[in-house]
Amino acid sequence: MKKIILAPDSFKGSVASFEACDIMAEALKSRGNIEVVKIPMADGGEGTLSFAASLAGSIVKSVEVYDPVGRKINAEYVINGKTAIIESAKACGLTLLDPEERNPLITTTYGVGQLVKAALSENADTIAVTLGGSSTNDCGAGFLAALGAKFSGDGLSLMPCGGDLEKIDDINIDDIDVRLKKVRLTAVCDVENPLYGKNGAAFVYAPQKGADEKTVMKLEKGLIRFAEIVRKKTGIDISAQKGTGAAGGLAAALYLLGADMRKGSEIVMALSGFDEKLKNADYVFTGEGRFDSQSFMGKVIGTVYTHASKANVPVAVFCGGYDSTENPEGLRTVCITPEGQSIDDAMRNAKENLFNAVTRFIEECL
């Protein structure tokens, strides 16, 4: 009996990772006598919480927090044993705001800090915070305030936001929740953007969150000022670590609290027990919307391939489209989109296209 591991990422905007697993498994039925192991994947961004919730032993918790503009909402997080998984977008995500509300000068990460406090109350000893999909550019000042940090300066908001960074004169973290000292914090991040500069949080990501050119410059100055104040007060240079520009600098605040920075796909791999399930496998089927050079930079496809190749297990990548680059040894690329099909039609028919592509592949290759 052949053993096939199904470990796809989502096909953005068309097929969720768990749906892709089900579709692949349905196609494999036609081949008969195959052991199918489903491991729907995520890269540490939005959707990671759903993945974590699907794991055996996971408990979904809900707590009232403040959203990016200070409204009370209920946000979920997951407890699995002594590990808490927090998706920052549940409290400060761009999707929580209407288009006209998107302004990183006024949005805050305060609610993410509230989620961490809730996890601490559940006696978690490990807390992983995913950083994708934020609406914020407050360098995690709101997050720190929710955990007990004190800021001084004229005209500061009760929940610090991006526009407050230029106003902050001092920071005191002496009263940060003491329970954090006993917890391993992890910032789950798939980018290496610095805190500021041309590749930093303000210039690269703030325009996607509603910032115009003038706002970007104001946010940039605020990030530089805040980092300098933190350095003078604590001796820690939060701008020195790669990836601290993630989530508008929320990664920098986590780094200040001693968090280690890890790729989201690696966290998901560890939580899913991928390497153990890979034993005695004959093939791994994975997939995503578009397969290109970025797929090997900490994303699901590259991580799946790295782990599978070490175990000498071949990998098939099913994708909506791909760049015509040479594949590494042990990897085959399968475009699921029929020749001549428009992008809109490909998105609408992605589930059918995936089923048909997997069916053809197993008929030809298994």
Q: In the chain, what are the domain boundaries?
A: 2-39+281-365, 48-264
pLDDT in tens, 219-252: 999 999 999 999 999 999 999 999 999 999 999 9
CATH class of the domain comprising 48-264: alpha beta
Q: Decide: 256 and 205 in contact? Cβ < 8 Å.
A: no
Q: Mean pLDDT in the chain?
A: 94
Task: Give 234's Cβ-side CA count (13 Å radius).
Answer: 20
- How much helix, strand and coil, in percent to the nearest 5, is found in the chain? 40, 20, 40
Q: Which fold has domain 2-39+281-365?
A: Rossmann fold (3.40.50)
pLDDT bracket for residue 325 (50, 70, 90)? low
pTM: 0.82
Is the confidence at residue 324, as pLDDT, over 90?
A: no
User: What average pLDDT does range 295-322 have in this prediction?
Assistant: 93
State residue 190's pLDDT score: 76
pLDDT in tens, 266-289: 888 888 899 999 999 999 999 999
State residue 266's pLDDT score: 85
Q: If we measure between CA atoms, which residue out of 357, 257, 335, 246 comes closest to residue 291?
A: 335
The CA-to-CA distance between both ends of the chain, in Å, stands at: 11
CA distance 14 to 11: 6
